[in-house]
């Protein structure tokens, strides 16, 4: 199972896109990125440890799934999310994001660069409890996943027992389409590499000093 964030990590959001038929070289060219030079972040099995490796935050990772699906993912922000979504023009794609803060999850299916359906779960903002928002028409074999979630909740094995079955629906849809689920162990043989901007990532900017520090001349 992919690492989830600690309760004090308010910025954790896992964002991913899987594109069928997209090669690593094509993805790197489109994103204007390259593989990192770091030896411990190249061709590594499992999932990156976003929780304990803060140098993995805000970085994009890549790995090959079965049946020609290329996965790109990371603990990212909205700007980087938009960059990844541009890859949906390159082939059939599934894009998703999940956040434990507020229990938000989203899954989107793309064909020909256009979104054909979307499933959202937003517990904090829905105001109506455990409800999924569906836009577009899902194929019958995928709609079953949603029906099963509601049936599980209705039977008393959902949130009444502390299990949020709706939160995992976009991840289950992702697995059914591309083979990737953020809630499960990686597929057999999966390996990842971290990406960086061409020429390397810039050094982080120093944090500005507080007005008290400036007032008293602290360095």
Q: What is the pLDDT of residues 70-102, one digit of tens each?
A: 999 999 988 999 999 999 999 999 999 998 776
Q: What is the pLDDT of residues 162-196, one digit of tens each?
A: 557 888 999 999 999 999 999 999 999 999 999 99
- pLDDT higher than threshold 60 for residue 105: yes
Exposure letters 67-78 (e unless 16+ CB within 10 A, then b): eebbbbbbbbee
The total number of residues written for the chain in this structure: 219
Measured CA to CA in angstroms, residue 168 lies from 10, 117, 214 at distances of 20, 17, 48
- pLDDT higher than threshold 80 for residue 43: yes
For the chain, the structural domain boundaries read 14-200
Mean pLDDT of 197-205: 71
The predicted pLDDT at position 35 comes to 96
């Amino acid at each position: 199972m992919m690492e989830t964030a600690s309760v004090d990590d308010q910025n954790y959001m896992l964002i991913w896109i899987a594109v069928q038929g997209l090669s690593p070289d094509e993805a790197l060219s489109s994103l204007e990125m390259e593989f990192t030079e770091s030896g411990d972040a190249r061709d590594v099995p499992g999932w990156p440890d976003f929780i304990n490796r803060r140098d993995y935050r805000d970085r994009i990772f890549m790995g090959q799934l079965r049946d020609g699906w290329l996965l790109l993912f990371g603990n990212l922000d909205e700007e980087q999310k938009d960059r990844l979504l541009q890859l949906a023009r390159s082939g059939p794609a599934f894009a998703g994001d999940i956040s434990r803060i507020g229990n938000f999850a989203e899954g989107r299916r793309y064909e020909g660069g256009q979104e054909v359906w979307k499933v959202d779960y937003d517990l904090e903002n829905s105001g109506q409890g455990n409800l999924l928002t569906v836009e577009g028409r899902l194929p019958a074999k995928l709609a079953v996943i949603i029906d099963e979630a509601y049936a599980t909740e209705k039977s008393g094995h959902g949130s009444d027992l502390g299990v949020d079955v709706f939160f995992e629906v976009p991840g289950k849809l992702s697995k059914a389409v591309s083979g990737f689920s953020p809630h499960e162990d990686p597929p057999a043989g999966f390996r990842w590499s971290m990406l960086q901007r061409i020429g390397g990532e810039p050094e982080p900017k120093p944090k500005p000093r507080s007005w008290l520090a400036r007032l008293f001349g602290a360095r």
